[in-house]
Chains A and B, each alone.
Chain A
């Protein structure tokens, strides 16, 4: 055995396998942001007047805001004028009517990413909407979904085809003025996915959106809106990747979920934006506002996220438990390696009676990674018999990383029961030695230990995603121990 001081000291960059750039003609806006940018985006998308007004109102409000600085993140100043707010693969004036008309290079890109869009090779039983830079390039299984009344399309299409639904629900969960990045998104959002599950329908397949940033100096500002009507049921998955570039790219998304009476929405994310290189150069700045409104009695929303990418993650998928007997869940694995930073967690806002929430988070830090859990459990004064259970576990690999936990608990009703458990462990030399002594290699030992640590979260993921998430963790941890 080597007598090195520690086997954890050698850190090698993880290999990011989605770092390729697709050579495709794009059209869009030059870098810069002012009112005309907002008008131009709206014009590109041929939006109705009310939506332009909504955007402009957001933009005006955004000008009055300052970036939040409370997160435990070391953020380089973001030059909002250096970013292009709209980029789209150039295509013929008439939008492609089917996937057969989509540029083959784009389809190839998604094949490479393991997301085949083509009718022949689609993932069995998963409807996919693919968003490339600022626009959606194709949605699969539309017809099959329409037969049961489920609407699953790009946000832009929804604005055109279902304006009344969009108008009714847009901004109803995350208001324009909610926070700095949500406000910016409201002004300049480009595309995203829209789902509507009608009353009593159990969506017959998983719905999935795959986001890809390709163009340089481009921000991605997508907007997702999911509405589940009374008694409906839907499972939605989201995945993201980007090329390797030396500059930081901005991603500021807003996701709104509306769950009506007894509806259930399961929302899973595998976030694998480019994390930057081993010296912390480049990578995506990921500022995301995700919130669910359990608007009526008996609604349930479950968030599951696996965050392995991005140079910086600022994300707190939340549940407003407005109706009585509503339930919110949050399962999270966040991994930071090299110089990645993550400040992530959730907010569970208990307003209705007999509301339940559960938070299980697993933070893994390696290299110089900094991993923060930040969570709020709020029990309002009318939320009689609210229950929360929170478990935050952190794992440290090596000696140069950090894990931090900031749980906020506000209880205004004496009948509430709130439990919080937190642990921090090191992949100790002990655990590693134990595995090695049984003949298991160091690399296998680390991935086994980490996988075990994340098990409670992985088992919440749909099958295909669980496999992907596990593989992703292994890649992201490659070389984390010498």
Chain B
């Protein structure tokens, strides 16, 4: 299995405050890892740094994506290389048609890879196919990007975009937050449909309930800027039962992530 993501001894600050303090993480193709942890532990920071959001400063350490130092690339180049971030708070872009937006994104990525742009008809066929897989309604295509969407619709739209763009690494940043149980199930089905041998996923979440539906290969607990513990899916259940406070009592037994 080839390496998708290697985060090595990563230190990072936001507005001068140190958030990540020596974080190590490795994802191989085909794997789904979950990152759990208390508020303020640095879960979203990790996703944002990998994706290249402004305002985060890496003070030391490395992030390799398919063996390449990704920190040297611009945000849009990382996206074109195959990094996808499903936003915790998907952004509204009024007046910009969802289909138009997605086609612009896909064609920008194709251009980066030296492929010709996809024509409108082919694109529409692709999009309809993905909608079917994700069990989404057609009218999603006609609306403006996230404008006036409900919380659940926004999250589903993220997964839909992911399905069309077919990234190598998908980071899902609290995709379960604010979802009712039906929406949660729909999102999870969408994610599961995209699991594949060439793709790795990093699922950032607060709660174990998402992991009932998206069963991870590895669960990490992120606390105070580093991976405090790693284990199988059962780790999430223990956390659910005992809370994060349990970690501090046992923090000497952090398991290296496999």
Contacts and interface: CB of A to CB of B under 8 A. Distances in A.
Contacts of A437: 51-53, 75-76, 78-79, 84-85, 87
Contact of A453 (B53, B74, B87, B94): B94
Contacts of B90: 434
Nearest to A455: B95
Interface in B77-96: 78-80, 84-85, 87, 90-96
A453 B95 contact: yes
B109 A439 contact: yes
B149 interface: no
A440 interface: yes
Interface residues of B, number: 34
Contacts of B78: 437
A71 B147 CA distance: 34
Given A434-B87, A453-B95, A429 B54 contact: yes
Nearest to A425: B94
Contact of B108 (A1, A441, A454, A456): A441
A441 B74 CA distance: 10
A1 B57 CA distance: 10
A473 to B, nearest CB: 13
A78 interface: no
A47 interface: no
A63 interface: no
Contacts of A442: 76
Contacts of B80: 439
A451 B79 contact: no
A3 B57 contact: yes
Interface of A is mostly: helix
B91 A430 contact: yes
Given A433-B54, A439-B108, A448-B101, A1 B75 contact: yes
Interface centre among A438, A444, A454, A456 (most CB of B within 10 A): A438
A7 interface: yes
B96 to A, nearest CB: 4
B105 A440 contact: yes
Contact of A436 (B55, B79, B87): B79
Interface in A1-52: 1-3, 6-7
Nearest to A430: B91
Contacts of B85: 437
A87 B161 CA distance: 58
Nearest to B57: A3
Contact of A456 (B51, B92, B95): B95
A279 interface: no
B235 interface: no
Given A433-B54, A433-B91, A452-B93, 18 more contacts: A1-B52, A2-B54, A428-B91, A431-B92, A435-B105, A437-B51, A437-B87, A438-B102, A438-B105, A438-B108, A438-B165, A439-B108, A439-B109, A440-B76, A440-B105, A448-B101, A449-B96, A451-B96
17 contacts: A433-B53, A434-B87, A436-B52, A438-B79, A438-B101, A438-B165, A439-B106, A439-B109, A444-B104, A444-B108, A448-B93, A448-B96, A449-B96, A452-B93, A453-B95, A455-B95, A456-B95
- Closest 3 pairs between A and B when the two form their complex, measured CB to CB: A452-B95, A452-B96, A438-B105
